[in-house]
């Protein structure tokens, strides 16, 4: 829901940083892999309940996620780069609640498992529609510089990072935050399934 606004805010600084990295011959794929490695370091920090350190690695991962896209727009967006980026993003998104589960399984296990389950809903509905939209050449009206069709919803990247920030700032309230965010994720999932199905159905009718 907030991605289209946050993109406008961070677009210019990311573009400046990406141009400098490009001059240093840093590629988008290298940035994607480096960012994922930084994100992985949040996991041991969570296990040792070093939440401020974990937050730092989470934010660094997200900065790299913005930079790889900015770099790709300089050198040219590729399907392979988009595939790598989205695959590692979803692994990272599930890794963070898993880390909180292991940090305090008695309090966080059920809420964390529900959140990961909800990520399956948002992720599968998002990717399934992206595949079908690409197959049927349905244009993305909002995110034209993305390698995949991005369906909007209550819970997008900006909201998810905000949720992770709250987890790290208020770790004793992880379960409550996770339950609330899981609910929003399922609203997004059901909306995407409904709107995606009807969008594709209407597109199919035009073929006849």
Give the range of the structural domain holding residue 35, as residue numbers without chain letter. Answer: 3-206
CA-CA distance, 66 to 3, in Å (whole number)?
Answer: 12
Count of domains for the chain: 1
pLDDT of 146:
53
pLDDT of 12:
83
- 102: domain CATH number is 1.20.120.1760
Residue 31 near residue 145 (C-beta atoms within 8 A)? no
**pTM, 2 dp:** 0.86
pLDDT by 10-residue block (mean), the chain, 208 residues: 65 87 94 97 98 98 93 91 93 97 97 97 90 77 49 77 96 97 94 88 77
pLDDT of 184:
94
pLDDT of 161:
93
CA-CA distance, 45 to 57, in Å (whole number)?
Answer: 9
Residue identified by tokens 């790889």 is 68
DSSP 136: T
């Amino acid at each position: 829901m907030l991605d289209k606004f946050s993109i406008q805010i961070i677009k210019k600084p990311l573009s400046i940083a990406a141009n400098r990295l490009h001059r240093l011959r840093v590629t988008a794929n290298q940035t994607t892999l480096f960012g994922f490695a930084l994100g992985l370091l949040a996991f041991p920090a969570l296990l040792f309940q070093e939440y401020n350190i974990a937050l730092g690695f989470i934010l660094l991962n997200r900065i790299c996620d913005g930079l790889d896209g900015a770099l790709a727009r300089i050198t040219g967006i590729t399907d392979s780069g988009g595939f790598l980026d989205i695959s590692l993003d979803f692994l990272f998104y599930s890794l963070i609640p898993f880390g909180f589960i292991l940090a305090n399984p008695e309090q966080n296990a059920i809420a964390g498992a529900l959140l990961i389950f909800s990520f399956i809903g948002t992720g599968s509905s998002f990717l399934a529609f992206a595949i079908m939209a690409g197959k049927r050449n349905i244009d993305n009206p909002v995110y034209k510089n993305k390698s995949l069709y991005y369906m909007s919803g209550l819970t997008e990247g900006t909201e998810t990072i905000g949720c992770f920030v709250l987890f790290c700032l208020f770790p004793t309230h992880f379960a409550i935050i996770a339950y609330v965010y899981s609910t929003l994720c399922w609203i997004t999932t059901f909306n995407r399934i409904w709107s995606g199905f009807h969008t594709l159905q209407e597109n199919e009718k035009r073929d006849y």
